[in-house]
Amino acid sequence: MPATRTGPATRTGPAAALVLVSALAAFGLGPAATPAAAATVPVGSGSYSDTRPAGTSGPTTNTGAPVTPKVTSAAKDKPVPTNDWWTSLAFQRYGDNPYSTPMYGHPLTYQATAGGLEVGYPTTPAIVGEGRQYEYAHKRDLTLGITGLNSPDTKADDWSDWTVTPYWSDGARTLRTTIGHGLPFVYAKGSGGNAQITTAAAPTVFADQGNVLGITVAGHHYALFAPSGSDWTVSGSTVTAGLGTKDYFSLAVLPSTDALAMYKKYAYSFVTGSKASWSYTGGTVNATYTLTTEAKEGTERGTLQALYRHQWLNTTDALTPYTYVSPRGTMKVREATSFTTSQKASAVLPALPKTNAVDTARLRGYLDAVANDPDPFKGYTDTYWTGKVLGQLAQLVPVADQIGETATRDKLLALMKGRLQDWFTAGGANEFSYDQVWKTLTGYPASYGSDTELNDHHFHYSYYVYAAAIVAQYDQAWAADSAWGGMVKTLVRDAANPSRTDSAFPFLRGFDVYAGHSWASGHQGFAAGNNQESSSESINLSAGLVLLGSATGDTALRDLGTYLLTTESEAIAQYWFDADQQVFPSAFGHDTVGMVWGSGAAYATWWTANPEEIHGINALPLTGGSLHLGGEKAAIRRNIAEMERENGGLAVEWRDILWEFQALADPASAKSKWDAGNAGYTPEQGESKAHTYHWISTLDTLGAPDATVTGDIPSSAVFTKGTVRTYAAHNYGATARTVTFSDGKTLTVPARSTATGTGTGGGDPDPGPDPEPPTGNTFQLRTGGVLTTAAGGTAGADTIASAAGANYDGTPHQPLVYEIKKVNGTLAPGAATAFRLQLDAGTTVGLGQQARISYDLTGDGTFDRTETYQYFATDPVTGWEEYTQSRGLKSATGTLGDLKGGTVRLEVWNAIGNGTATLQTGTDRSVLVIPFS
């Protein structure tokens, strides 16, 4: 969907066809071909133009004037990564601002001005827009510059995966800085004057060590570092230091004044670049984020970097006690040049698998309504809306195949091929055109600023890639590079290029590897930074890459998609849905957002305030790539509940999208709504009754996705209903294969087929958190030591006594005890104890809380089964953290059986540390779930 609206259209000049032909050959898209004409570049069976169609426009300013990349001569040949957190440095969308709009690096914020780089550290959120948006807006604490600097503009001089180097020159003075995501430092090189820091108000000096100065501005602590032998001088709001024969200096925002010594250690180890690398193996995605450095003084080459929540939740690397505030929640500081994350890969299937729950005749009727539509593309001609229809058709091809409707399947495939080939051939009413200046491929007719602002390419092209992946599943020859696959991969290179050496397209144009998600605006020209609304359409591209790579045997493309999908799924859970309720400010008052901004997030869309679309825009399109959403069922429930509150009732306009979304957590509830409301509604433009019926009926039968178990190929998934897990996988290979899942189960899948089953062999070595429990076996905690199945309690908190520096790992010490007696229940085969406990250690370092659950099966006073879980190390940041059974059992004694007037007891204590912690009571966020019905 749109990132912003467009301005008037103008036209710029042609590109160089031969350059692109060579580049295509170099990056595996088939043999280079000599263009048949100067304006046409052949790629396999297809082609694109190197000149825009008459009357159309490329990138412009907001007044419609053509604009070229604002980069230095050193960077003039590098493809500019539009759609980034800092892109306003290079894309001058607003003609009267030759510097930049605010850039949100986190924890620091920046804005380029004539005199240098404004730096801020916003720590207090504002709730604006009638409570619909929270923002940590950029506010200058200080400006870093060179004395006398008055530059007419700021240009991008260099960049890497998540850092950028702005450059200023006024002819007599120069300034070059390096800034980035997660960097607490700003690194500077200057000439023609002294280092100068101009503060927003007179600073307070808390440390003066000559060339190292600690100052406090607006309540934020900064350290200034000049070369050895120089000295900082404070005069009102101006702080200067001579550079002597050197040209470097730096500053850092400190988490506290006592951190000065640690930050001083790394002040002269200048970051020169950043790089993410990834791998996929056996159901797990590993990624390493590395900074390169240069020692300006001494030999220290280490550094400090702040990790976002989606990163530190998935790393086992050591972190310091230091933290920062950000719009994405707490950032934690690591003392190293790299860190590694590890995540279970997000599941992808070409379609939900076949079940007996689907009425074949009914589904056939729904399919026929789409396949026999006299205007299947609904008159759409632009890239986005054409793509939406391609997505609609692609979802139905495997569904038709499942029920033996091969004629319908082939008719849908023919519709998709015909429209794709139309777009993949230059010279017609629609085509793709390459811009040599901006090094981008744009589809015309364009929409939502995909041409003038370079917005949304990953959204639009996701549908073409996904549709091509489905075609490739049934017709590999069509998807060969020498046929139409070359054009598909050219779109991939524009939107998600994995190469850093491709001279024709930038590296991962839309995807921000450090932020963990994509950005939609091509120019980033907003006070709130960049933005992304429809995170699910970004996911649609990643899922398409997984399926396309799997279908064509391109494992590098498959693994790229798996990395992007898995990484962004965690970012979506945290930053769009606030899954752990640790990101959104408490005053915000919403459980989800429609849009994430550099400065925060908004309960809004670009085009409407309708709650249905605010809640649905980050779900559509619902495909086999949407299963990751089912990993956060509580967040989906909160999301749907809020939508219905805000909407004043059930969904009306986007009911199918919201039914399908709800089915990822509560299939039975979604099925009930479908049964009641499927007769009289119009499907959302990218949906169909055929797909919605199949989706909801299938999940009602199989259960919701179970993200705790993964298969050893990306095209696999697990579903859980009650105590039964169903394993599914699609095998793209030419021979049968056995897929092994992380709980030890296996599934044999025939060649080029999807198979399902309850799995064979194996145990359950990695069950992860249990699915949401059924009513009746879930107990809330009440202050006073009570466990109860009653809901509607009043939130409270109990204090957990200190371990007083001793080690009580495994042995309860002054525990909080919660108990319920006279419990009857039948043991559920294969089930296990589950719990969610909300804990907070405040700002105390080094605490660890532990839980023990005990069962007295007959109420005779003797506990027949005792389970002690590994302790949970809480962080020294105020705010609730969740301790669950997924930490794993430390020990267990006895055997479970049926409860007959029995007693269930929960004990919680501090296993280590020297300080108290608190345990939340009275809410459904702290619960014990027993494995009984």
- Which residues are known catalytic residues? 456, 533, 537
Position of tokens 């059986």? Answer: 897
Cβ atoms within 10 A of the Cβ of 666, count?
Answer: 19
Q: Give the whole-angstrom CA distance, residue 587 versus residue 582.
A: 12
Three-state DSSP class for residue 730: strand
The tokens of 360 are what? 């074949």
The long-range contacts involving 70-75, CB below 8 angstroms and separated by at least 24 positions, are 70/98, 70/153, 70/154, 70/155, 70/156, 71/155, 71/156, 71/157, 72/155, 72/156, 72/157, 72/167, 74/157, 74/158, 75/155, 75/156, 75/157, 75/158, 75/159
C-alpha distance from residue 658 to each of 574, 684, 687 (Å)? 20, 10, 12
Q: Which amino acid is at 98?
A: P
Q: Give the whole-angstrom CA distance, residue 840 versus residue 874.
A: 7
Q: Which amino acid is at 518?
A: S
Q: Give the whole-angstrom CA distance, residue 735 versus residue 51.
A: 45
Three-state DSSP class for residue 475: coil
Backbone torsion region of residue 915, taken as left when φ is above 0, otherwise alpha when ψ lies between -120 and 50, otherwise beta = left
The tokens of 908 are what? 């919680």
Is residue 197 exposed (0-12), middle (13-18) or buried (19+ Cβ within 10 Å)?
buried
Q: At what angle do helices 633-647 and 655-663 cross, to 10 degrees?
A: 150
The tokens of 192 are what? 């023609």
Three-state DSSP class for residue 633: helix
Backbone torsion region of residue 888, taken as left when φ is above 0, otherwise alpha when ψ lies between -120 and 50, otherwise beta = left
Tell me: cis bond preceding 773? Omega within 30 of 0 counts. Answer: no
Q: Give the whole-angstrom CA distance, residue 771 versus residue 709.
A: 11
Sign of CA dihedral 643, 644, 648, 649: positive
Three-state secondary structure string covering 857-879: CCCCCCCCEEEEECCEECCCCCC
Residues 6 or more apart in contact with residue 811 via CB below 8 angstroms: none
- Partnered with residue 932 across adjacent β-strands are 827
The tokens of 609 are what? 């305030």
Alpha helices in 424-554 (DSSP H): 457-474, 486-496, 535-552
Cβ atoms within 10 A of the Cβ of 881, count?
Answer: 18
- Partnered with residue 596 across adjacent β-strands are 532, 601
Beta strands in 627-777 (DSSP E): 704-705, 716-721, 724-731, 737-740, 746-749, 753-757
Dihedral pair phi/psi, residue 878, rounded to 5°? -60, 130
Sign of CA dihedral 442, 446, 448, 451: positive
Three-state DSSP class for residue 497: coil
Q: Give the whole-angstrom CA distance, residue 388 versus residue 380.
A: 9
Pair 117, 249: CB distance under 8 Å: no
Pair 323, 332: CB distance under 8 Å: yes
Cβ atoms within 10 A of the Cβ of 778, count?
Answer: 20
